[in-house]
Structure 1
Amino acid sequence: MADAKISFTDGAAYERLMGVWSRFAGEIFLDWLEPPSDLRWIDIGCGNGAFTEVLVDRCNPVEVQGIDPSEEQLIFARTRPASRVAEFRRGDAMALPFPAGRFDAAVMALVVVFVPDPARGVEEMVRVVRPGGIVATYVWDMVGGGFPLDPILGEMRAMGLAPPRPPQVDVSRLKALQDLWTGAGLEAVEVREIAVTRTFADFDDFWAINTKSPMLAPTLAAMPSVDVERLKSRVRTGLPADSQRHITCAARAHAVKGRRLK
């Protein structure tokens, strides 16, 4: 695959595609963090607010600041029930618009591989939390076969196609995440895998939802229709349906957490 800029601008499409996956993984992630209630959170790369909604529902925060570069995604996020607690604004993960020690917890959901300089992004997370504060992320295992789009991406690669990919996929490795967190001076660093599954109504449902991804759509749009149908057939063969035509897919995320030194 080729490195290229990937922009998520359609909040509703993202909700159908990755928002569902993000919530599945996010619930396990938050259970693992075991945060107390009444914390001040920053959700960096909040996108359309899918994870933010889980955070508000499960953690009883006193404040959540959601930061993302896409105003289109933020417009969708502001329509969520989470907006009763969360404020959504544009911002850069590598230059957060907040003073040092402003929050009790800083999190990223499925974002760190898109940050041009992940180490700088983690430094910013550390900077804006108080001493003893939580710094954590989860991200799809994009190297080891855990990405939800892998059933399509794998067949595209087999056909000699090169759709764009996030610029920092190697950061999704467990060891790389652990090294980032320890390199940022965090203590009590732990990592884990998060395994989730998702069931689609049938193959057409799977195809319609997943091919809207900005990682796939531009390449598919440039392909001759006969090649698109060949790709679709290959993917269908690799995803057998159950007796009710349902398609169940598995994905795997890697997570890391630590605390700022007191």
Structure 2
Amino acid sequence: MPTPGNDARFDGAVAALYQSLLVPLIFEPYAVDLAVRLARLPAASVLELAAGTGVVTRELAARLAPGAQLVATDLNEAMLAVAQAQGTARAVTWRQADAMALPFDDASFDAVACQFGAMFFPDKARAFAEARRVLRPGGTFLFNVWDRIEANDFAWVVSDAVAGLYPDDPPRFLERLPHGYGSAATIAHDLTSAGFATQPVIETVTASSRAQTPYLAALAYCQGTPLRGEIEARDPTGLEAATLAAAEALAARFGAGPVAGRIQALVVAITR
């Protein structure tokens, strides 16, 4: 029973666990990578899409040139509330916004960035066209997406463990969405459909994911992502049992802890 209506649902409970557990588990290395790449660009104004709880925002605020303007947006107000509560090294303009209908004028920004958000856009070409529209000529659109789930150890083990609890109706959120847009050819096609005339530069970046215990990694995925909603849709009382099953599978594969596994993403850059 896929639940596409909940695929982008990051309510208060999910947002809090996302920030406390999932951000350090898998997002921080790529946030630094993306911010370093952006800081090398001659960008006086940067728009961030799908900022989530602000892991990239905080890195950008610390690394962008003095005086550079930073605007961070997300569709989910609960995520933005957590992001704003974390604080930033410089002033940031926070806006609730839909990436497919951005509330900004044409050619408003020197760079547009997005960390692990493109997979959630219902119409990716439309969202990319919006990013292109608000970019100034010569500006850069820089984003990353997760590679296939088999290249991301913890996500793969958790997804299979939870699916095994519901063999007639397996929850496949992790495989379907976060890890469902890892094709360089598809990304390039969508960017062309969005009106970009140049070819994207797409780089595979591998890093390490670490957790003190298998349970903390399982908790991050099962309760700090919309996988939580898929589990509860199948069994309203089954969330903790699913988390424990995922933890046991992680322990069987990686040991009792601390645990480490591979994470892998595609980093995409294209100019307008």
**Residues 52, 175 of structure 1: alpha-carbon distance in 2 compared, 3 angstrom cutoff:** same
**CA-to-partner distance for each residue in 1:1-55, whole Å, 9 max, x for gaps?**
8352221123332112332222211222343456335520100111111111111
Which residue number in structure 2 is paired with residue 2 of structure 1? 2
Could you say which residue in structure 2 is the equivalent of 1:42? 47
Find the aligned partners of 1:205 and 1:86 in 2 and give their Cα distance: 31
| Structure 1 SS opposite 2:151 | coil
Q: 2:214 aligns with which of 188, 194, 203?
A: 203
**Please, which runs of 5 or more residues in structure 2 have no aligned partner?**
none
Counterpart-to-counterpart distance in 2, 1:107 and 1:147? 26
Larger mean CA deviation between 93-102 and 232-241 belongs to 232-241
Task: Compute the TM-score of the two structures, normalised by the length of structure 2.
Answer: 0.83
| 1:187 paired residue number | 198
C-alpha contact 1:33 1:257 (8 A) present in aligned 2? no
Higher helix residue share = 2
* 1:247 aligns with one of 248, 251, 259: 259
- Cα gap change, 1:157/1:8 in structure 2, threshold over 3 Å: closer, same or farther? same
The residue that corresponds to 2:126 in the other structure is: 120
Q: Matched residue of 1:78: which SS?
A: helix
CA 1:39–1:23: 2 relative to 1, 3 Å: farther
Aligned to 2:182: 172
Q: Which residue of 2 aligns with 1:53?
A: 58
Please state whether the residue corresponding to 1:136 is helix, strand or coil. Answer: strand
C-alpha deviations, 1:188-220, integer Å up to 9, x for none?
Answer: 520011111122112233233332223332344
Which residue is equivalent to 2:88? 82
Moved more, 111-120 or 213-222: 213-222
The alpha-carbon deviation at position 109 of structure 1 amounts to 0.7
Question: Which residue of 237, 242, 249 maps to 1:234?
Answer: 249
Percentage identity across paired residues of the two chains: 19
CA distances 1:207-256 after superposition (whole Å, capped 9, x unpaired): 33332223332344423976765554333212224xxx311122111111
RMSD, aligned CA: 2.7
> Scaled by the length of structure 1, what TM-score is found?
0.86
Q: 1:16 aligns with which of 12, 20, 23?
A: 20
Q: State the AA in 1 paired with 2:46.
A: W
SS in 2 for 1:195: strand
**SS of corresponding position for 2:201:** strand
The amino acid across from 2:250 in the alignment is V
Distance 1:109 1:224 in 2: 27
CA distance in 1 between partners of 2:182 and 2:213 (Å): 30
Structure 1 stretch displaced more, 245-254 or 177-186: 177-186
| In 2: Cα distance, 1:78 partner to 1:216 partner | 25
